[in-house]
């Protein structure tokens, strides 16, 4: 891969004692162009602004998709490892396909990320829970005003040393079940990681945060009675002895963390169901004392416990944290695998050598 290194690294200026989420960017980025019907070889160069036409189709009609994954520094060996990037490669292809973006070879994507993280591995923080976040985006670059797929695209991949998303507020989340606004509808783009899926959530999230909630609990777009996702996280409930999460059906983002949680729980013999979850079922389970636990799952936040959910003006309250809660155990297992402390039984990690 063609690599142009920065003249001087910015690493010494980065404040690793006070990491936020996504306010510092590492030295280099990958760029890869699609022109005249082909994806070119990716290149690595300095992290810098990208020139683009003011008429770029990405800017006007939102033809842009992204991904998010993390690399972790090993607690014992200091080596840097990427978590399940094959899943992100697959999902990027699905997202591209939904928005008429020419699909990129998985190998090119995986190799480009590996090379980039290897080059900037000094930027991977060393505290447990912190990570080098990898953000790939694909944008339509053609300048044109017709509403049609762009003829040219650019893949950009850059990295950012981050703390955990909810590191500041390690308390349990208070969600507002959103009964007016909709994130995704059947036939829409809910399963794809598109920029537009995020744009439509800004206003409802802002309103909810102003009303004192931490996040929104998205409900289905038709009846607003079925649970879909908790903000940018998939959601889980422990009902009696069974763990339940909404089934993927086109409106829910197939999270890599969601899949990892299901894999780990099933491995421990904990019954898991992927099915529709009715809000009234949660209200009833709370009354019956069978609603044990709820948590969100996503790359940025790993797993985060939920304390309360406001639905139609009333709070559904989860029981106080207890010793046999699954969420803290899952958190330790996932982080343990990511930081190379636990055996990687599922070949989830890719070590970045050199």
Ligand X SMILES: *Cc1c(COP(=O)(O)O)cnc(C)c1O
Q: According to CB under 6 A, which one of 42, 125, 298, 305 is a site residue for ligand X?
A: 298
Q: Among the candidate windows 143-151, 157-165, 253-261, 313-321, which touches ligand X by CB under 6 A?
A: 253-261
Token pair for 315: 């709070």
What is d(CA 291, CA 268) in angstroms, rounded to the nearest whole number?
20
Is residue 306 involved in binding ligand X (CB under 6 A)? no
152 is a contact residue toward ligand X (CB under 6 A): no
β-pair partners for 156: 31, 137
For the chain, give the longest Cα–Cα distance.
64
Give the residue, chosen from 152, 182, 299, 350, that forms a contact with ligand X under the rule CB under 6 A.
299
State the helix-helix crossing angle for 256-267 and 326-338, rounded to 10 degrees: 110
Least separation, in Å, of the C-beta of 298 and ligand X?
Answer: 4
Q: Which of 26, 141, 159, 234 binds ligand X (CB under 6 A)?
A: 234
| Cβ pair 96, 138 in contact under 8 A | yes
By CB under 6 A, residue 92 contacts ligand X? no
Q: Does 233 bind ligand X (CB under 6 A)?
A: yes
Contact flag: residue 255 with ligand X (CB under 6 A): yes
For residues 239 and 284, the answer to whether their CB atoms sit within 8 Å is no
Identify which range of 11-19, 42-50, 143-151, 252-260 contacts ligand X by CB under 6 A: 252-260
Q: Which of 1, 3, 51, 52 is nearest to 28 (CA)?
A: 3
Q: Supply the minimum distance, in Å, between the C-beta of residue 256 and ligand X.
A: 3
CB of 132 to ligand X, least distance (A): 15
Residue 274 tokens read as: 């992927």
Q: Which two tokens stand for residue 100?
A: 């008429």
Confirm or reject binding of residue 68 to ligand X (CB under 6 A). Answer: yes
Q: Does 188 engage in binding with ligand X (CB under 6 A)?
A: no
Q: Which of 103, 101, 90 lies closest to 149, judged by CA?
A: 101
Shortest separation between residue 148's beta carbon and ligand X, angstroms: 26
**Minimal distance, residue 109 CB to ligand X, in Å:** 15
| Shortest spacing between CB 330 and ligand X, in angstroms | 13
Instruction: Provide the 3-class DSSP secondary structure of residue 177.
Output: strand
| Nearest CA-CA partner of 305 in 130, 117, 124, 171 | 171
From 49-57, 123-131, 206-214, 226-234, give the range in contact with ligand X by CB under 6 A.
Answer: 226-234
Please, what is the Cα angle at 78 between 76 and 84, to 5 degrees?
95
Interface residues with ligand X (CB under 6 A) are 68, 193, 229, 232-234, 253, 255-258, 298-299
């Amino acid at each position: 891969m063609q690599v142009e290194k920065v003249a001087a690294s910015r690493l010494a200026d980065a404040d690793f004692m006070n990491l936020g989420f996504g306010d510092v960017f590492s030295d280099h980025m990958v760029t890869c162009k699609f022109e005249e019907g082909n994806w070119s070889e990716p290149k690595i160069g300095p992290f810098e602004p990208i020139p683009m036409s003011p008429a770029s189709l990405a800017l006007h009609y939102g033809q842009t998709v992204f991904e998010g994954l993390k690399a972790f520094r090993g607690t014992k060996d200091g080596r840097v490892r990427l978590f399940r990037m094959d899943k992100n490669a697959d999902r990027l292809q699905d997202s591209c396909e939904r928005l008429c973006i020419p699909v990129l070879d998985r190998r090119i994507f995986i190799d480009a990320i590996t090379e980039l993280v290897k080059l900037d591995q000094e930027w991977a923080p060393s505290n447990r829970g912190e990570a080098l976040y990898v953000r790939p985006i694909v944008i339509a670059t053609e300048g044109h005003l017709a509403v049609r797929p762009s003829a040219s695209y650019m893949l950009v991949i850059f990295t950012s040393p981050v703390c955990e998303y909810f590191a500041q507020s390690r308390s349990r989340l208070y969600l507002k079940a959103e009964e007016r606004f909709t994130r995704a509808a059947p036939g829409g783009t809910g399963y794809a990681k598109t920029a537009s899926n995020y744009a439509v959530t800004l206003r409802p999230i802002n309103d909810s945060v102003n009303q004192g909630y931490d996040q929104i609990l998205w409900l289905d777009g038709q009846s607003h009675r079925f649970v879909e996702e908790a903000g940018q996280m998939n959601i889980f409930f422990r009902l009696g002895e069974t763990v339940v999460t909404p089934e993927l059906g086109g409106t829910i983002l197939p999270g890599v963390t969601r899949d990892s949680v299901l894999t780990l729980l099933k491995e421990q013999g904990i019954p898991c169901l992927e099915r529709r979850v009715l809000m009234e079922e949660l209200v009833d389970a709370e009354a019956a004392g069978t609603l044990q636990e709820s948590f969100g799952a996503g790359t940025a936040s790993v797993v985060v416990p939920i304390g309360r959910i406001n639905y139609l003006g009333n709070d559904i309250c989860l029981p106080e944290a207890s010793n046999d809660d699954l969420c803290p155990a899952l958190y330790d297992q996932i982080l343990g695998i990511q930081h190379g402390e636990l055996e990687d039984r599922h070949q989830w990690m890719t070590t970045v050598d050199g």
